[in-house]
Chains A and B, each alone.
Chain A
């Protein structure tokens, strides 16, 4: 089985150079490889090319730090059923469901053949949210609880259908797709690079920096441009600031949910310091406007560096106190420990990424496995790992990563002298007939953008994969056999994105 093999900093390939194989070969190969935890699929999508439907597969090899690209094609109007990979490796389910939904491709023995996100260009127009095929169990002592479809706190749409036996959850089904925005299509509708950048910042509001960095790196790879050292450092600082802010916010949210006021107020205050630092840097608390292709409008100055170092040092010290406080509170431990277990094997099977997977003991961290920006040469990233896969592990992941991120920021800025950083480049044409992959470890996990250009160098297909896509299933597994009243803390411990899924 042939792959085009590359690594993260150079992940651009001419479409003509991508090997095209038979589905049978791909199926057999993935069957083998995905059983090994070193491989997982970053993206798998199809697009019509003339009268063929071409499938692209981006496979990641964590051990050799490689990105492997392959493809296959079928006649657009073929109605052969492809043997489903989901049946063997559940991590393939969102990809196969998307392909089936968009192009009516039939996957044979697909165990969970449900609509993914109801895009406007879906084949089956009769399939809608109103007739979503919820899983049901019949039983005298069972009852169903439907939560949603609007989240009462963040006003994002998603329906959670619980099947409960008394207080215990037997099954949870999460139905998303209420707010399909057509983000991926929007990228191809405009050739204005600035618009596309702004769009990337809005893929998921809580990961504005991460998605913008992923987009910028993808575009830079398509241009064939290299980014200078200083820009890489500043982007890494921005990414780690975002990670700190979100992890601290989640720590606070978890404390709120168990009515632990001290942790809540401390974290709310600390998060504000971090996002205000980002604001002092670029004028927006979520880092919008900071990341641009090939350069930045908001370079660091000596004064800003001083401010960031001062605030990060302060936050690190105070957050460490909160961490120790949490670790030594019996009432907190009683709530979080052994709650919402997702074993490592299960996490790998469903293709979990990011902090949720590391909390279960899997070592999925793009910063370590596929380094980019300053992780290539400035930081030797050691991924934090936990083992239990419970709410406490996911919380402690955050606690440790905040301290680690603070250390990285301080380390990067210690001997950093602000230099001239180039202005953003919105005009350089992209290389035609290319495929580029952007891989970034956002605070939630692995973010993967794939862009394909046409002959004239315009983006013709843009695919986004947010870490939430796979991790939602992890949440459903975590709450099985837990009390339904523990669902909120499990949900917070994953803190997944609705809009990141719905795209």
Chain B
């Protein structure tokens, strides 16, 4: 029962975040905005359509969206919602989670290269670079959690005996902040990427999907939502672990944390110059290293 509820809540989070982002942006822009479920309607239309393929592409291009979505689903099934249990859980699943998503990234990069388009090649190069740069942040973030709790599975980490503890609170809140930042990069939002831009030369994620249409495009969208939901839920779990470790707290928190922060940043801030993205992402890794050392020192029980 807990596993079913867990899975449903992850799906709910994935569906709700884009809606909240759109609503936040609309409110801040003083617009009426699109309905909350507009993104679902769009994907619904896409899923009912066939796909058109460029003659230069091979089978790799056609299977890539399925692998991309598959990887995202598997990754999402590893994420617990606070006190609930995920479907897939084993020792070391944090590593498996990270590299399942890396598989998704690799397959979409290869598909982009497969088209032979100069735009998509540039997008693939950017995605590969930023993917490589964000990986240390992700791994050090997981290492911090593992170090502090002594487990290498999400379910165990967040299940770690909860008692109000100042050290735990500090590390968990910092980790939550780290994962919110990682969410921005991984889901390709401002200031790293701009999902709404129409300018191929500036795109990162979108440009790799230029040749996709119909059902393939729909699958890529859904995978993107799931990825965002995963990272958002990890951040929310970390916050929930500091006090109120319940699914009814973690779920709305995951939705609002990402939904509002992305919505607000996208309304009030311009995007980075592309060459500054590298600095931005490396800074996240540096932040992760810092949090790791703080966690390590606190673990040693040094009085501060």
Residues of A within 8 A of B (CB): 143-147, 152-153, 166-167, 255, 257-262, 265, 329, 331-332, 334-335, 339, 483-488
Neighbouring B residues of A167 by C-beta, 8 Å: 122, 274-275
Q: How far is the CA of A260 from the CA of B273 in the complex (A)?
A: 13
**14 more A-B residue pairs beyond the given contacts A144-B118, A167-B275, with a C-beta to C-beta distance below 8 A:** A145-B119, A152-B198, A260-B269, A260-B271, A261-B25, A261-B28, A262-B29, A265-B30, A331-B270, A335-B270, A485-B202, A486-B273, A487-B201, A488-B202
* Set B197, B268, B269, B275: member contacting A483, Cβ < 8 A: B275
Neighbouring B residues of A258 by C-beta, 8 Å: 270-271
Q: How far is the CA of A488 from the CA of B202 in the complex (A)?
A: 8
Q: Which 4 A-B pairs have the closest CB atoms?
A: A331-B270, A258-B270, A485-B274, A260-B270
Cross-chain pairs A/B with CB under 8 angstroms, 12 sampled: A143-B118, A145-B118, A146-B118, A147-B201, A259-B266, A262-B268, A265-B29, A265-B31, A335-B270, A483-B273, A488-B201, A488-B202
- The reply to whether the CB of B190 lies closer than 8 angstroms to some CB of chain A is yes
- The reply to whether the CB of B267 lies closer than 8 angstroms to some CB of chain A is yes
Neighbouring B residues of A488 by C-beta, 8 Å: 199, 201-202
Q: How far is the CA of A486 from the CA of B121 in the complex (A)?
A: 17
* A261 and B118 contact, Cβ closer than 8 Å, known pairs A152-B198, A483-B275: no
Chain B 276-289: CB-based contact to A (< 8 A → 1; otherwise 0): 10000000000000
Neighbouring A residues of B259 by C-beta, 8 Å: none
Least Cβ distance of A165 to chain B in Å? 12
Which interface residue of A144, A153, A332, A334 has the most chain B CB atoms within 10 A? A334
* Set A146, A257, A486: member contacting B274, Cβ < 8 A: A486
* Set A145, A152, A331, A487: member contacting B269, Cβ < 8 A: A331
Least Cβ distance of B211 to chain A in Å? 14
Chain B 201-226: CB-based contact to A (< 8 A → 1; otherwise 0): 11000000000000000000000000
Residues of B within 8 A of A (CB): 25, 28-31, 118-119, 121-122, 125, 190-191, 194, 196-202, 266-276
Neighbouring A residues of B121 by C-beta, 8 Å: 143
Which interface residue of A146, A147, A259, A484 has the most chain B CB atoms within 10 A? A259
Q: How far is the CA of A145 from the CA of B275 in the complex (A)?
A: 19
Least Cβ distance of B70 to chain A in Å? 31
Q: How far is the CA of A466 from the CA of B133 in the complex (A)?
A: 47
Q: How far is the CA of A152 from the CA of B271 in the complex (A)?
A: 21
Least Cβ distance of B192 to chain A in Å? 10
CB pair A334 B119 closer than 8 Å: no
CB pair A259 B270 closer than 8 Å: yes
Least Cβ distance of A143 to chain B in Å? 7
Interface of B, helix, strand, loop or mixed by DSSP:
helix
Neighbouring B residues of A334 by C-beta, 8 Å: 270, 272-273, 276
Neighbouring A residues of B266 by C-beta, 8 Å: 259, 261
Neighbouring A residues of B30 by C-beta, 8 Å: 265
Least Cβ distance of A125 to chain B in Å? 31
Least Cβ distance of B242 to chain A in Å? 31
Q: How far is the CA of A335 from the CA of B269 in the complex (A)?
A: 11
CB pair A145 B31 closer than 8 Å: no
Q: How far is the CA of A144 from the CA of B199 in the complex (A)?
A: 17
CB pair B273 A259 closer than 8 Å: no
CB pair A259 B190 closer than 8 Å: yes
Neighbouring A residues of B118 by C-beta, 8 Å: 143-146
* Set B191, B199, B275: member contacting A257, Cβ < 8 A: B199
Neighbouring A residues of B197 by C-beta, 8 Å: 257, 259
CB-CB nearest in chain A for B277: A485
Neighbouring B residues of A487 by C-beta, 8 Å: 201
CB pair A484 B270 closer than 8 Å: no
Neighbouring B residues of A484 by C-beta, 8 Å: 122, 201
Neighbouring A residues of B276 by C-beta, 8 Å: 334
Q: How far is the CA of A166 from the CA of B122 in the complex (A)?
A: 8
Least Cβ distance of A144 to chain B in Å? 7
CB-CB nearest in chain A for B196: A259
Q: How far is the CA of A483 from the CA of B275 in the complex (A)?
A: 8
Q: How far is the CA of A444 from the CA of B274 in the complex (A)?
A: 29
Least Cβ distance of B78 to chain A in Å? 32
Neighbouring A residues of B272 by C-beta, 8 Å: 331, 334-335
CB-CB nearest in chain A for B273: A335
Q: How far is the CA of A146 from the CA of B121 in the complex (A)?
A: 12
Least Cβ distance of A479 to chain B in Å? 10
CB-CB nearest in chain B for A256: B197
CB-CB nearest in chain A for B193: A259
Q: How far is the CA of A357 from the CA of B168 in the complex (A)?
A: 60
Q: How far is the CA of A226 from the CA of B199 in the complex (A)?
A: 48
CB pair B271 A335 closer than 8 Å: yes
Neighbouring A residues of B273 by C-beta, 8 Å: 334-335, 339, 483, 485-486
Q: How far is the CA of A483 from the CA of B267 in the complex (A)?
A: 25
Q: How far is the CA of A152 from the CA of B274 in the complex (A)?
A: 21
CB-CB nearest in chain A for B30: A265
Neighbouring A residues of B29 by C-beta, 8 Å: 261-262, 265
Least Cβ distance of A151 to chain B in Å? 10
CB-CB nearest in chain A for B31: A265
Q: How far is the CA of A487 from the CA of B200 in the complex (A)?
A: 10
Q: How far is the CA of A145 from the CA of B190 in the complex (A)?
A: 25
CB pair B122 A145 closer than 8 Å: yes
Q: How far is the CA of A103 from the CA of B119 in the complex (A)?
A: 39
Least Cβ distance of A199 to chain B in Å? 32
Q: How far is the CA of A66 from the CA of B268 in the complex (A)?
A: 49
Q: How far is the CA of A328 from the CA of B266 in the complex (A)?
A: 17
Which interface residue of B266, B267, B273 has the most chain A CB atoms within 10 A? B273
CB pair B198 A153 closer than 8 Å: yes
Neighbouring B residues of A259 by C-beta, 8 Å: 190-191, 194, 196-197, 266, 269-271
Neighbouring A residues of B191 by C-beta, 8 Å: 259, 331
Least Cβ distance of A22 to chain B in Å? 49
CB pair A332 B198 closer than 8 Å: no
Least Cβ distance of B97 to chain A in Å? 29
CB-CB nearest in chain B for A143: B118
Q: How far is the CA of A259 from the CA of B266 in the complex (A)?
A: 7
Q: How far is the CA of A146 from the CA of B116 in the complex (A)?
A: 13
Neighbouring B residues of A143 by C-beta, 8 Å: 118, 121
